[in-house]
Amino acid sequence: MPHGLEKQKLIRGSRTFAAITIAAFALLAVLTTDATTWKGLAQMRPFALPLVLGLVFISWFANAVKIRILADGIGSRISVWSCFRAHMANLFLSAVTPFQTGGGAAQIYVLWREGLSVSRATAASLAGALITIVFLFSGGVAVLVIRPGLAENIAVRVVTIFVITVFCFAFFLFWVGFFKPQWVSGIVRVAARVAERVPFVPKDRVREFHDWFSQELADLIAYLRIYLTDRLGVLLKAAPLGGISILANCLIAYAIMFGMRISRDPGEVLMAQMLIYFIVYFSPSPGGSGVAEAGGASLMAALIPLQQLCVYIVLWRFFSYLLGVGLGAVVIMGLLRSGTQDAERILVIRPDRLGDVVLATPLIHALRDRYPNAYIAALVRPYTEAVLLGNPRLDRILLDDPAGRDSGFRGFWSLVFRLRRERFGTSLMLMPTRRHALAVLLGGIPRRISVGRKPYEVLTGSKPAGRNRDDPVRHEADYCLDLGRVVGVECGDLRPEVFLDEEERAEARGFLEAAGLGTGTVVGVHPGSGGSAPNWDRERYRTLVRGLVETLGSWIVVTGDGSEPRMDWGGEGWGERVLDLTGQLTVRRLMSVLSCFDVLVSSSTGPMHLAAALGIPCVAMFCPRKACSPARWGPLGNGHRIIVPGSERCGRCGPTRDPECRFQDIPVSDVLAMVSGIVG
């Protein structure tokens, strides 16, 4: 899939389309207009305009909803607005390419930019095209059977025969794709072998492209078959929308005639229109230009007075096609203006806690894989900066301290000006806040993607990722990737990553040894949670630590920030194997100390996610509520143990956490057994 569109070719195609269309209009004007034509214009009904525009909107909206239903049917969530833009791009590229071949490619391109894979975007577009082709072919053939006199004109008859041949060939291609995919695979293999023999063509690039294309082709065929098997209901749901779109287009002609005070049998008008659209759909000229005007004039001449024929054709062509082409040009020009800017300068915003920033790293990794030459930056709070230091996927880390140096009016505008200097093309706001929604708008970032539809997100023009947090529950790292999918990121590895160099690790080992840590198994215990999640009371942690020392003979390192009081670990000698570092570690030193552990015990906390990102097994206690569940917030990677209370008390817990919950139903012995299972 190309990363841009060739502007000069679009301009040439637009000029060709415009020249043919204007020439056809001019010829009709010369042949059909006289003084009575202009008198008729003054007598038009003005209230017919809203009716025509309503039918135009129905046609566009039906096509957009059809695309969305088809995309959703194969597991790709996308907004109706994105599908509308894709349809408009389809109309424009159809108008500037021979046989209208560019329309489908443009639609696929826009859907791909909105987050669908190439195979899914192609499958949804082909299924939509198949629905349209079936309706047009059935309707066109039915009209020719019912009213064969409509094709008496030799030119109309020749074009009709040509179009029927093209329709049959299109049906043949669909049949091959559905039932004979091995033919397509064989052609691709032969083409690859021929390309490998061409001088100066790198063989490794040919093989790489062949492998990519073969995989996309296999996925495409699989998705198309899904429509005919497991998702047949999706096709049946989308098909009426295709029919509604075609019917609305046909009714546009009747509404224009109504506005021109021309009264004719609606059935006659609809049959003539169906045959026109049948002929135009696969006409060889760009956008059917020339063919549509001449064919429309020929087929409607019996229904419209000659002196008014040119006016009718201009109005009909404008509302049924040219208006959509113009809006499609706006969409395409927007893509051309942005070019690859959104892929070159990307800002990831995560202004919350340690664990949240850790879980944003899979998105950063996936963005780097998708855009290897991009400038990617992250905007975080100062105390979480350490999580991202040394990350090779990032080019820069920006800091925002709304409670400190960036507080107040002056600090906000300082942030805005820093964003403007960076000239970002895309922002991904993983944690929505009013401050940052407004800052990215005023910072001149054209493509602003956020997580939902809060009022301030709507007012600042943020594009929602369209995700559902509740059904089914997914991991927070996957929710972060939803925003990446909007800009074309494929579903990446969810495992988080943080980076320490060997010097930092060695320094941490020396620090622990100097503090009195001996040799043997090292178990980390992080008793605090900062109030972000339910947790044991401190006495249970004390009992656990004593059990770990007496049962396993482990060394215990206790971590925590300065806001948490230190505990008394003394008594009967076992406290001598406990090293309490509460309040003594910076975030970066905490990370290096965590890397020295054999296992970490904690509730749902940021240090748990840091340990998991460093490959340290975790024994973690979680609340089963959706908002706190391990399905969403659990440690990622292998070797972790999760323990969840299963009492009736949890079943009665409401939408907000029970303030008295201290995980009373998680016994110390269960946690001790899990730790033993890892280090024993």
- Residue 517, CB-side half-sphere exposure with 13 Å CA sphere: 24
Higher pLDDT, 98 or 107: 107
**Closest by alpha carbon to 482, among 471, 472, 495, 469?**
469
Backbone phi, psi, residue 561, to 5° = -85, 175
What is the pLDDT, as a whole number, of residue 341?
45
Q: Return the minimum-mean-pLDDT range out of 97-111, 382-396, 420-434, 594-608.
A: 97-111
What is the pLDDT, as a whole number, of residue 197?
76
What is the pLDDT, as a whole number, of residue 282?
73
Helix (H) or strand (E) holding 38: helix 35-42
pLDDT digits (tens, 9 = 90+) for 196-230: 777 766 677 667 677 767 777 777 777 777 887 77
What is the pLDDT, as a whole number, of residue 191?
79
What is the pLDDT, as a whole number, of residue 80?
85
pLDDT digits (tens, 9 = 90+) for 374-402: 889 999 999 899 999 999 999 999 999 98
Query: 575: pLDDT confidence band, cut at 50, 70 and 90?
Result: confident
Q: Which residues are bridge partners to 339 per DSSP?
A: none
- C-alpha distance from residue 97 to each of 17, 110, 395 (Å): 8, 17, 40
pLDDT digits (tens, 9 = 90+) for 319-331: 999 999 999 988 8
> In the predicted model, is pLDDT for residue 586 greater than 70?
yes
Mean pLDDT, rounded, for 420-444: 89
* Cα–Cα–Cα angle for 666, 672, 677, rounded to 5 degrees: 120
Higher pLDDT, 406 or 323: 323
pLDDT digits (tens, 9 = 90+) for 148-173: 777 666 666 776 777 778 778 777 87
Higher pLDDT, 367 or 295: 367
Residues in the chain: 680
Q: Return the minimum-mean-pLDDT range out of 495-499, 555-559, 658-662.
A: 658-662
Higher pLDDT, 411 or 454: 411
- Report the percent of the chain where pLDDT is more than 90: 30
Query: 570: pLDDT confidence band, cut at 50, 70 and 90?
Result: low
> In the predicted model, is pLDDT for residue 3 greater than 60?
no
Backbone phi, psi, residue 260, to 5° = -90, 5
Q: Return the minimum-mean-pLDDT range out of 50-54, 163-167, 268-272.
A: 163-167
| Mean pLDDT score of the chain | 83
Write down the pTM of the prediction: 0.60
Per the CB < 8 A criterion, the answer to whether 261 and 268 are in contact is: no
DSSP, res 651: H
Mean pLDDT, rounded, for 240-245: 95
Mean pLDDT, rounded, for 575-593: 88
What is the pLDDT, as a whole number, of residue 517?
82
* Strand bridging mode 463-464 / 447-450: parallel
Helix (H) or strand (E) holding 216: helix 203-228
What is the pLDDT, as a whole number, of residue 226?
81
Helices (H), 281-424: 291-300, 306-317, 323-338, 341-344, 354-358, 361-370, 385-388, 408-422
> In the predicted model, is pLDDT for residue 469 greater than 70?
no
Judged on CB neighbours under 10 Å (0-12, 13-18, 19+), 468 is exposed
Helices (H), 339-489: 341-344, 354-358, 361-370, 385-388, 408-422, 434-442, 455-459, 476-486
Whole-number Å distance between alpha carbons of 280 and 676 = 74
Which tokens belong to 481? 């990737």
